[in-house]
C-alpha cells in the first residue's frame, strides 16, 4: 500500500487517489470520525474488494459518502422532509441517514437491503477527495472486520496492508468515534448506532421531530447489521467495568483503562493503569479510546478491563463501544468507597 501525506502542497496526491478510485481501486482516507476505506459506490466490483480487504461478511452494508449539495437520486429513492431538514442542519458532519435505496445503486453496497446509509463527511481531505472524484464513495471504517476502528493512517496500514492501494494520511481523526446512524420514517427517528453526534445535538438542530427512539436490544441487530455485540474488539480478552467500580478479578496481569479522577489507591498494585482522559472532557476520551485500545492490545496482557464513562450524551456512545469491545461482558465489581 502507498501512503501519501495530506499536509499542505498535496494536490498531486489527491489526483493520484482519485485516479486509483476511478480505476476501481481502494483508497483509505481520513474523515472527522474515523478513517474510511473507500471505493466508487456505483462500481460493484470495487465495492466487493472492500468486503474482501476487511474480511467483512457480505451481509453488513456500507455507508455511502457524498457532498451535501449533490443530487442524491442515484443513491436514495426518496428524501422525506425531516431527512432533508437534518441534512440541511447537520451536514457535513457525523450524521448517517438510512433512507430508501435507489435502484441505480448496486445491491452489494446495501447487502441487498431496501435502504441505504448515506453521510456527508466534514473532514477537509474527505471533502476534497469527493470533489476530485465527483462520485459517491462507499466506505466502511478502515479496520479489519470486528476489530477496533482506525483513527490514524498507521492503524489502517497495520490492519489492511496491501489489500488497499493507497492511504491518504491526514493525521489523527478528530472525533475518534464513528458517526451516529439514524433511520428516518415520517417525522420519527430511530437511532441505530449512537456516535459522534449526540441525540441532544440532533434535537437542538431540528426542533420539529415527533419521536426519537433508540434501537436498544440486540434483537434490533437486523435493523442495522453493524450492531453485533462483539465489535470494535481488541484481540486480548476484554471486559467492561461499570463506571466508578473496580472489578474483583483473579487475573494478575490486567491492563485497566480508566479516567483521570479515579483513585489510584483503590487499584490492585499488579495492574497496569492507562488513563483515557478526564470524564469532564469526553471529546478527548473519544479521541483516545481506539488508539489506546490498539496500543494496549499489543502489550500482551492477560486481560483488558475498560471502565465505562457512565456519562450522558457522547458518554452513551462511548459506553456502547466499550461494551461492544468487551463483547458485552461486564465484570462483577466492587464499588469505590471514596474518590472515583
List of residues contacting Mg ion (CB under 5 A): 141
Residue closer to ligand TXA by CB (options 6, 267) is: 6
Q: Which residue is nearest to ligand TXA (CB)?
A: 226
Q: Is 98 one of the binding residues for ligand TXA (CB under 6 A)?
A: yes
Q: Which positions from 161 to 200 touch ligand TXA by CB under 6 A, shown as an x/- string?
A: -----------------xx-x----------xx-------
- Round the CA-based radius of gyration of the chain to a whole number and report it: 20
Residue closer to ligand TXA by CB (options 120, 304) is: 120
Output the 3-class SS for the chain.
CEEEECCCCCHHHHHHHHHHHHCCCCEEECCCCCCEEEEECCCHHHHHHHHHHHCCCCCCCCEEECCCCCCCCCCECCCCHHHHHHHHHHCCCCEEEEEEECCCCCHHHHCCCCEEEEECCCCHHHHHHHHHHCCCEECCECCCCCCCCCCCHHHHHHHHHHHCCEEEECCCCCCCCCCEEEEEECCEEEEEECCCCCHHHHHHHCCCCCEEEECCCHHHHHHCHHHCCCCCCCCCCEEEECCCEEECCCCCCEEEEECCCCCHHHCCCCCEEEECCCCCCHHHHHHHHHHHHHHHHCCCCCEEEEECCCCCCHHHHHHHHHHHHCCCCECCEEECCCCC
Please state the closest distance from residue 203 (CB atom) to ligand TXA, in A: 20
Residue closer to Mg ion by CB (options 108, 141) is: 141
**Residues 217 to 276: which contact ligand TXA by CB under 6 A?**
224-226
Q: Is 277 one of the binding residues for ligand TXA (CB under 6 A)?
A: no
Q: Which of 279, 232, 233 minimizes the C-alpha distance to 259? A: 279
Q: Is 214 one of the binding residues for ligand TXA (CB under 6 A)?
A: no
Please state the closest distance from residue 35 (CB atom) to Mg ion, in A: 10
Please state the closest distance from residue 43 (CB atom) to Mg ion, in A: 21
Torsion, CA 77, CA 196, CA 327, CA 192, rounded to 10: -30
Interacting residue with ligand TXA among 16, 18, 27, 33 (CB under 6 A): 33
Q: Is 61 one of the binding residues for ligand TXA (CB under 6 A)?
A: yes
Residues binding ligand TXA: what is the number (CB under 6 A)? Answer: 27
Please state the closest distance from residue 60 (CB atom) to Mg ion, in A: 8
Give the span between the Cα atoms of 309 and 301, in whole angstroms: 22
Please state the closest distance from residue 170 (CB atom) to ligand TXA, in A: 13
* Residue 190, strand partner residues: 183, 213
Q: Which of 15, 62, 9, 59 minimizes the C-alpha distance to 40? A: 62
Please state the closest distance from residue 269 (CB atom) to Mg ion, in A: 37
Interacting residue with ligand TXA among 17, 20, 28, 31 (CB under 6 A): 31
Residue 93 contacts which entry, ligand TXA, Mg ion, none (Cβ below 5-8 A, type-dependent): none
Please state the closest distance from residue 229 (CB atom) to ligand TXA, in A: 12
Residue 214 contacts which entry, Mg ion, ligand TXA, none (Cβ below 5-8 A, type-dependent): none
Q: Is 50 one of the binding residues for ligand TXA (CB under 6 A)?
A: no
Residue closer to ligand TXA by CB (options 181, 293) is: 181
Please state the closest distance from residue 129 (CB atom) to ligand TXA, in A: 12
Please state the closest distance from residue 86 (CB atom) to ligand TXA, in A: 15
Residue closer to ligand TXA by CB (options 73, 278) is: 73
Give CA separation, 307 vs 174, 260, 284, 328, in Å: 22, 12, 15, 13
Binding stretches for ligand TXA (CB under 6 A): 31, 33-34, 36, 60-63, 94, 96, 98, 110, 113, 115-117, 139-141, 178-179, 181, 192-193, 224-226
Amino acid at each position: 500500500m502507498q501512503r501519501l501525506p495530506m499536509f499542505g502542497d498535496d494536490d498531486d496526491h489527491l489526483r493520484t487517489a482519485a485516479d486509483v478510485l476511478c480505476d476501481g481501486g481502494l483508497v483509505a482516507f481520513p474523515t472527522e470520525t474515523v478513517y474510511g476505506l473507500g471505493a466508487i459506490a456505483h462500481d460493484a466490483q470495487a465495492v466487493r474488494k472492500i468486503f474482501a480487504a476487511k474480511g467483512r461478511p457480505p451481509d453488513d452494508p456500507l455507508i455511502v459518502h457524498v457532498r451535501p449539495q449533490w443530487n442524491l437520486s442515484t443513491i436514495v429513492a426518496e428524501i422525506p422532509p425531516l431527512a432533508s431538514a437534518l441534512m440541511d442542519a447537520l451536514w457535513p458532519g457525523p450524521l448517517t441517514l438510512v433512507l430508501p435505496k435507489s435502484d441505480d445503486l448496486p445491491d452489494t453496497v446495501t447487502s441487498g437491503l431496501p435502504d441505504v446509509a448515506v453521510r456527508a463527511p466534514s473532514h477537509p481531505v474527505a471533502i476534497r477527495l469527493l470533489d476530485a472524484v465527483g462520485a459517491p464513495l462507499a466506505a466502511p471504517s478502515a479496520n479489519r472486520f470486528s476489530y477496533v476502528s482506525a483513527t490514524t493512517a498507521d492503524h489502517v496500514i497495520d490492519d489492511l496492508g496491501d489489500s488497499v492501494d493507497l492511504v491518504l494520511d491526514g493525521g489523527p481523526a478528530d472525533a475518534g468515534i464513528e458517526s451516529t446512524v439514524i433511520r428516518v420514517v415520517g417525522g420519527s427517528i430511530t437511532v441505530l448506532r449512537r456516535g459522534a453526534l449526540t441525540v441532544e445535538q440532533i434535537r437542538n438542530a431540528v426542533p420539529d421531530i415527533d419521536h426519537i427512539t433508540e434501537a436498544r436490544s440486540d434483537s434490533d441487530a437486523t435493523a442495522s447489521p453493524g450492531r453485533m455485540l462483539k465489535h470494535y474488539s481488541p484481540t486480548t480478552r476484554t471486559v467492561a467495568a461499570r463506571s466508578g467500580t473496580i472489578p474483583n478479578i483473579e487475573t494478575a496481569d490486567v491492563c485497566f483503562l480508566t479516567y483521570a479522577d479515579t483513585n489510584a489507591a483503590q487499584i490492585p498494585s499488579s495492574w497496569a493503569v492507562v488513563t483515557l482522559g478526564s470524564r469532564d472532557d469526553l471529546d478527548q476520551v473519544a479521541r483516545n479510546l481506539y488508539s489506546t485500545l490498539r496500543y494496549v492490545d499489543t502489550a500482551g496482557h492477560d486481560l483488558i478491563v475498560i471502565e465505562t464513562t457512565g456519562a450522558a450524551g457522547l458518554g452513551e456512545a462511548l459506553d456502547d463501544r466499550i461494551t461492544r469491545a468487551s463483547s458485552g461482558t461486564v465484570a462483577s465489581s466492587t464499588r469505590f468507597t471514596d474518590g472515583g
